[in-house]
C-alpha cells in the first residue's frame, strides 16, 4: 500500500518551485504537480487522437488496397494538422429549428466526460499517474456513463429525424453494453482485490501474470462490449451511413463536429487503456524491475509509459482492423448479442471465477486446494495455482458458459424475432390452407 | 480549501435544484437534475464516501437520467407549458405548509450534531470506501441485501410478463 500511495508525491523540483517546507506540500502535491501532469497528458492524448484518425484512414486504405492520405507532407503525415485547421476555420452552423442551448452544450458534455477519465488512468509507474483514486474503476465507469447524455442531447436538439434516430439507437446500445462491460471486469477484480487502477497493475505484477490468462472470458466480453460502448463497427448502428446519414451528429459542422469526433476517438483510447490496465498487466512487463535497479528510476518510468502505449496501440489496431473487415450488425442482432449473450456470460464468468477462487483458497480460509498463498498482505497464486486458474479459465469457464447460454437461448425463443416471424408464416399458411382471407 | 470547494458545489447543487422547478421545458429540468446529482456526488467525495459518490453517478446520472431523457425525447414534450388549473384555496393552504416545511428543516438542522470526520489516509477507519461498504453488505447486512435483490428480480420478471406478447 505505501508504494501505491507514493505515486502521488510530487518530485523535488516541483516542491522547490512552490517554495514550500517539507511537511506542508499542499500546493506542490495537489495543485502545481497535477496541473503539469494534466497539461502533458492532454497535449499528448489530443495529438494521439488526431493521429488516430490518420491511422484509421491509412489502415482502411491498406485493407482496401488504396494509399490513403498522401498529399499533405510525406505519406500525408501532416494531414491531421490540415484537418484541424480546416475544422477550426469552418463556418459554425446551428440549424434554425434546433434548440440552441442544448445544441451547443451537447458536444461539450461528450468531450468533457471522456477527457475526465484520463485523470485516473495509470499511464506508467511512479510519477506518470495523475491520480490514484481508491474507486478508480468505478470512476471510469461512472464518468463514461455520463457521455451517453451528450449523444442523446445532440440528437434531440438537432431537430432532425436522422439525428434523433441515431441518438435513440446510440443511447439504447450504450446503456445495454455498459452492463456487460461492468460485469466483465468483476472477475479480474476478484484476483486484484482492489478498484484502484494502479493497484490492479501492482496486483498483476505481484501475481506474475496478466489477468487475461486467468480471465479469458472476461477479456473477450470486455473487448466486444467496448466496441459496442464506443459505437465502433461492427456495432456502429448509431451512425450507419446508409440509413442515418451520420447519426446523432448529422446536423453538426465545424469544430462542434470535431469535438464529437475527438470524444469518439478518446473513448476508444480510454476503453483500450482500461482493458490494458485490467487484463494485460498495465505498464508492467517482465524485466522492468531489473531496469529499475540497473538503469535508474527515470528510464524505468519512461519505459513503463512506452510499454503501456505499446499495449494500447495493439488494441487500437485491432479495433481498426475489426472495423474495416467486418460487416455491420442488424439492430436486433446487436441487442440479442448484448442482452442474451454478453450479459449472461458476464454473470456466469463472475459466478464461476468466484467458485474457482474459493476452491483454490487454503483450507483455513474455507478452500480445498490451497493454491493461493497469503504473502505480504495479499493472496498470491502459487505456481500450481497459476496453472489451475489458466486451465479453469480456458477449459471449463468458456465452454461451460457457452454451452449453458446456447441451450438457454435455444429454448427461450418466444422473444426471438426469427421465431415470431416463423410462427406468423406458419399461421398464415394454415389460413391459406383453410381458404380464409389473408391480409396482404 | 475544503470549505471553498464545499461552497462551490453546494451553490451549484442548490441552483441546479431550483432550476429544475423553474424550467418549463422538461428536458432542461432533467439536465438540471443531472447537474444537481453531479454536485451532490462531489459533496459525497468531500465527506470521504467515495463509493456512494461513484454509485450516485453510475446509477442516477448515468442510467436513470439517460432513461428520463430517452422518455422525454420519445414523448416529444410540447413546447408550450401545459395548462395548470389554479385553485385559489390551494394557494392559501400552500403558505402554511411551506412554513411548516421550513420549520421542520430548521428543527432538523438544529438536531444534527457535528461528527468527527474520519482521517483521509486511515483505511481501517474509513467508512465510505468500497472495502468497508462491501464488507458490511456481505456480513452484517447480507439478508436485507439478498431480499432487495430478490425484490428487484421480481420486478424484472413482472415487467417481462406484462410486456410479453401473446402467441397469436
CB-CB: which of B62, B121, B123 is closest to A146? B62
Confidence of residue B12 (pLDDT cuts 50, 70, 90): very high
Distance CA A241, CA A233 (A): 12
- Could you tell me the three cell numbers for A272? 483500450
Residue A390 CB neighbour total at 10 angstroms = 16
Residue B101 lies in a domain: no
Task: Check which CATH number belongs to the domain holding B35 and give it.
Answer: 1.20.120.1200
CB-CB: which of B63, B121, B164 is closest to A175? B63
Q: C-alpha distances in angstroms, A349 versus A86, A287, A394, A399?
A: 48, 31, 11, 11
Nearest CA in chain B to A113: B62
Contact B31 A178 (CB under 8 A): no
Mutation target vs B (from A9, A133, A134, A421; most B CBs, 10 A cutoff) = A134
Q: What is the dihedral of CA B31, B35, B38, B41, to 10 degrees?
A: -120
Q: Are A386 and A209 in contact (CB under 8 A)?
A: yes
Confidence of residue B116 (pLDDT cuts 50, 70, 90): low
Supply the pLDDT for residue B82. Answer: 60
Nearest CA in chain B to A139: B54
Supply the pLDDT for residue B143. Answer: 92
Question: Mean pLDDT throughout A110-124?
Answer: 88
Q: Which residue has the higher pLDDT, A239 or A276?
A: A276
Contact B130 A102 (CB under 8 A): no
Q: How far off is chain A from B29, nearest CA to CA, in Å?
A: 12
Query: A145 contacts in B (CB within 8 Å)?
Result: 57-58, 61-63, 66
**Whose CA is closest to A232, among A265, A196, A276?**
A265
Nearest CA in chain A to B121: A5
Q: C-alpha distances in angstroms, A111 versus A61, A383, A385, A400, B33?
A: 28, 45, 43, 40, 20
- CB-based contact (8 Å) between A414 and chain B? yes
Confidence of residue B83 (pLDDT cuts 50, 70, 90): low
Distance CA A74, CA A63 (A): 20
pLDDT greater than 80 at residue A376: no
Confidence of residue A346 (pLDDT cuts 50, 70, 90): very high
Distance CA B163, CA A414 (A): 12
- Could you tell me the three cell numbers for A60? 482502411
Contact B130 A135 (CB under 8 A): yes
CB-CB: which of A133, A146, A168 is closest to B57? A146
Question: What are the backbone dihedrals phi and psi of residue A45, each rounded to the nearest 5 degrees, phi first?
Answer: -65, -40
- CB-based contact (8 Å) between A280 and chain B? no
Confidence of residue B91 (pLDDT cuts 50, 70, 90): confident
Supply the pLDDT for residue A311. Answer: 92
Residue B11 lies in a domain: yes
Question: What are the backbone dihedrals phi and psi of residue A97, each rounded to the nearest 5 degrees, phi first?
Answer: -85, 0
Supply the pLDDT for residue B147. Answer: 94
Q: Which residue has the higher pLDDT, B24 or A376?
A: B24
Helix (H, G, I), strand (E, B) or coil at B55: helix
- CB-based contact (8 Å) between A335 and chain B? no
- CB-based contact (8 Å) between B121 and chain A? yes
Contact B27 A102 (CB under 8 A): yes
Distance CA A7, CA A11 (A): 10
Give how far the C-alpha of residue A413 lies from the chain's centroid of Cα atoms, to the nearest Å.
Answer: 31
Distance CA B9, CA A40 (A): 27
Give how far the C-alpha of residue A206 lies from the chain's centroid of Cα atoms, to the nearest Å.
Answer: 24
Number of H helices, E strands in chain A: 19, 2
Residues facing residue A129 across a β-bridge: A122
Backbone region of residue A213 per phi and psi (left: phi > 0; alpha: psi in -120 to 50; beta: other values) = alpha
Half-sphere exposure of A164 (CA within 13 A, CB side): 16
- CB-based contact (8 Å) between B100 and chain A? no
Confidence of residue A348 (pLDDT cuts 50, 70, 90): very high
Question: What are the backbone dihedrals phi and psi of residue B113, each rounded to the nearest 5 degrees, phi first?
Answer: -100, 140
- Could you tell me the three cell numbers for A42? 492532454
Question: Chain B window 52-81: which residues touch A at a Cβ cutoff of 8 Å?
Answer: 53-55, 57-58, 61-63, 65-67, 69-70, 73-74
Q: Are A322 and A234 in contact (CB under 8 A)?
A: yes
Distance CA A351, CA A356 (A): 9
Percent helix, strand, coil in chain B, to 5, is 75, 0, 25
Q: Which residue has the higher pLDDT, A117 or A377?
A: A117
Looking at the 3D structure of chain B, how many domains does it have?
1
CA geometry: angle at A91 spanning A87 and A95, to 5°?
A: 115
Question: Mean pLDDT throughout A223-227?
Answer: 90
Q: Are A244 and A250 in contact (CB under 8 A)?
A: yes
Query: A172 contacts in B (CB within 8 Å)?
Result: 70
Residue B141 lies in a domain: yes
Q: What is the pLDDT of residues A78-114, one digit of tens each?
A: 888 888 888 888 888 888 877 788 888 888 988 998 8
pTM: 0.83
Give how far the C-alpha of residue A418 lies from the chain's centroid of Cα atoms, to the nearest Å.
Answer: 31
Q: What is the pLDDT of residues A284-311, one digit of tens each?
A: 888 777 887 787 777 888 888 888 999 9
Contact B62 A153 (CB under 8 A): no
- Could you tell me the three cell numbers for A199? 493497484
Supply the pLDDT for residue B103. Answer: 93
Supply the pLDDT for residue A2. Answer: 42
CB-CB: which of B28, B50, B164 is closest to A135? B50
CB-CB: which of A5, A142, A152 is closest to B70? A152
Q: Which domain holds residue B136?
A: 2-79+127-167
Contact B57 A145 (CB under 8 A): yes
- CB-based contact (8 Å) between B34 and chain A? yes
Supply the pLDDT for residue A3. Answer: 46
Q: What is the dihedral of CA A170, A171, A174, A176, to 10 degrees?
A: -120
Mean pLDDT of chain A: 82
pLDDT greater than 60 at residue B76: yes
Mutation target vs A (from B57, B62, B69, B160; most A CBs, 10 A cutoff) = B62
pLDDT greater than 80 at residue A44: yes
Helix-helix angle A254-279:A33-63, to 10 degrees: 100
Nearest CA in chain B to A106: B31
**Whose CA is closest to A184, among A322, A409, A343?**
A343
Supply the pLDDT for residue A417. Answer: 66
Q: How far off is chain A from B113, nearest CA to CA, in Å?
A: 28
- CB-based contact (8 Å) between A178 and chain B? yes
Q: Which residues of A138-155 are buried (b: 16+ CB within 10 A; e: fewer)?
A: bbbbbbbbbbbbbbbbbb
Q: Which residues of A111-133 are buried (b: 16+ CB within 10 A; e: fewer)?
A: bbbbbbbbbbbbbbbbbbbbbbb
One DSSP character per residue, A385-404 reads HHHHHHHIIIIIIHHHHHHH
Distance CA A5, CA A172 (A): 39
Largest Cα span, chain A: 96
Q: Which residue is associated with the grid cell 459496442? A: A228
Contact B55 A138 (CB under 8 A): yes
CB pairs under 8 A between A and B: 84
- CB-based contact (8 Å) between A206 and chain B? no
Supply the pLDDT for residue B53. Answer: 87
Give how far the C-alpha of residue A17 lies from the chain's centroid of Cα atoms, to the nearest Å.
Answer: 37
Distance CA A170, CA A151 (A): 7
**β-pairing verdict for A378-381 and A372-375:** antiparallel
pLDDT greater than 60 at residue A427: yes
Supply the pLDDT for residue A18. Answer: 66
Supply the pLDDT for residue B132. Answer: 80
Query: A156 contacts in B (CB within 8 Å)?
Result: 27, 69, 73
- CB-based contact (8 Å) between A31 and chain B? no
Rounded percentage of chain A residues whose pLDDT exceeds 70: 90
Distance CA A284, CA A307 (A): 7
Residues facing residue A374 across a β-bridge: A379
Amino acid at each position: 500500500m505505501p508504494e501505491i500511495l507514493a505515486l502521488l508525491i510530487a518530485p523535488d523540483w516541483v516542491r522547490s518551485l512552490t517554495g514550500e517546507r517539507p511537511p506542508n506540500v499542499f500546493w506542490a502535491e495537489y495543485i502545481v504537480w497535477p496541473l503539469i501532469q494534466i497539461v502533458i497528458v492532454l497535449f499528448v492524448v489530443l495529438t494521439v487522437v488526431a493521429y488516430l484518425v490518420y491511422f484509421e484512414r491509412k489502415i482502411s486504405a491498406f485493407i482496401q488496397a488504396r494509399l490513403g492520405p498522401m498529399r499533405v507532407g510525406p505519406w500525408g503525415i501532416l494531414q491531421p494538422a490540415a484537418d484541424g485547421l480546416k475544422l477550426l476555420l469552418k463556418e459554425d452552423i446551428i440549424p434554425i429549428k434546433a434548440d440552441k442551448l442544448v445544441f451547443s452544450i451537447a458536444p461539450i458534455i461528450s468531450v468533457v466526460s471522456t477527457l475526465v477519465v484520463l485523470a485516473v488512468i495509470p499511464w506508467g509507474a511512479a510519477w506518470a499517474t495523475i491520480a490514484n483514486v481508491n474507486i478508480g474503476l468505478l470512476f471510469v465507469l461512472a464518468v463514461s456513463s455520463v457521455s451517453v447524455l451528450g449523444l442523446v442531447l445532440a440528437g434531440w436538439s438537432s431537430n432532425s429525424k436522422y439525428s434523433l434516430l441515431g441518438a435513440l439507437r446510440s443511447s439504447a446500445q450504450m446503456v445495454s453494453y455498459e452492463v456487460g462491460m461492468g460485469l466483465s471486469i468483476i472477475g479480474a477484480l476478484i484476483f486484484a482485490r482492489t478498484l484502484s487502477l494502479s493497484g490492479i497493475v501492482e496486483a498483476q505484477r505481484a501475481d506474475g501474470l496478466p489477468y487475461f490468462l486467468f480471465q479469458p472470458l472476461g477479456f473477450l466480453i470486455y473487448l466486444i462490449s467496448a466496441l459496442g460502448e464506443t459505437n465502433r463497427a461492427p456495432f456502429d448502428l448509431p451512425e450507419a451511413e446508409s440509413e442515418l446519414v451520420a447519426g446523432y451528429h448529422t446536423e453538426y459542422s465545424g469544430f462542434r463536429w470535431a469535438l464529437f469526433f475527438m470524444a469518439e476517438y478518446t473513448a476508444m483510447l480510454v476503453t483500450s487503456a482500461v482493458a490494458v490496465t485490467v487484463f494485460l498487466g498495465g505498464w508492467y512487463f517482465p524485466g522492468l524491475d531489473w531496469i529499475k535497479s540497473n538503469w535508474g528510476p527515470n528510464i524505468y518510468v519512461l519505459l513503463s509509459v512506452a510499454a503501456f502505449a505499446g499495449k494500447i496501440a495493439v488494441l487500437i489496431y485491432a479495433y481498426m482492423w475489426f472495423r474495416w473487415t467486418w460487416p455491420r450488425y442488424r439492430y436486433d442482432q446487436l441487442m440479442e448479442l448484448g442482452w442474451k449473450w454478453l450479459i449472461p456470460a458476464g454473470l456466469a464468468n463472475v459466478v464461476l471465477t468466484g467458485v474457482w477462487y474459493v476452491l483454490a483458497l487454503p483450507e483455513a480460509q474455507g478452500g480445498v486446494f490451497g493454491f493461493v498463498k497469503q504473502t505480504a498482505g495479499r493472496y498470491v497464486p502459487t505456481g500450481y495455482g497459476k496453472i489451475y486458474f489458466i486451465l479453469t479459465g480456458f477449459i471449463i469457464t468458456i465452454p461451460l458458459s457457452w454451452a449453458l447460454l446456447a441451450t438457454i437461448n435455444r429454448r427461450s425463443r418466444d422473444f426471438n424475432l426469427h421465431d415470431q416471424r416463423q410462427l406468423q408464416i406458419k399461421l398464415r399458411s394454415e389460413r391459406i390452407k383453410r381458404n380464409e382471407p389473408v391480409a396482404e | 480549501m475544503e470549505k471553498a470547494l464545499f461552497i462551490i458545489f453546494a451553490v451549484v447543487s442548490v441552483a441546479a435544484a431550483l432550476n429544475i422547478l423553474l424550467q418549463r421545458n422538461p428536458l432542461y429540468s432533467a439536465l438540471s437534475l443531472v447537474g444537481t446529482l453531479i454536485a451532490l456526488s462531489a459533496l459525497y467525495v468531500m465527506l470521504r464516501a467515495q463509493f456512494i459518490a461513484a454509485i450516485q453517478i453510475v446509477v442516477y446520472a448515468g442510467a436513470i437520467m439517460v432513461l428520463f431523457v430517452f422518455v422525454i425525447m420519445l414523448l416529444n414534450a410540447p413546447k408550450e407549458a401545459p395548462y395548470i388549473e389554479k385553485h385559489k384555496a390551494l394557494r392559501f393552504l400552500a403558505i402554511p405548509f411551506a412554513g411548516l416545511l421550513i420549520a421542520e428543516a430548521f428543527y432538523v438542522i438544529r438536531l444534527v450534531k457535528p461528527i468527527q470526520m474520519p482521517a483521509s489516509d486511515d483505511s481501517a477507519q474509513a467508512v465510505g470506501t468500497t472495502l468497508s461498504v462491501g464488507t458490511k453488505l456481505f456480513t452484517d447486512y447480507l439478508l436485507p441485501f439478498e431480499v432487495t435483490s430478490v425484490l428487484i428480480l421480481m420486478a424484472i420478471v413482472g415487467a417481462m410478463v406484462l410486456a410479453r406478447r401473446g402467441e397469436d
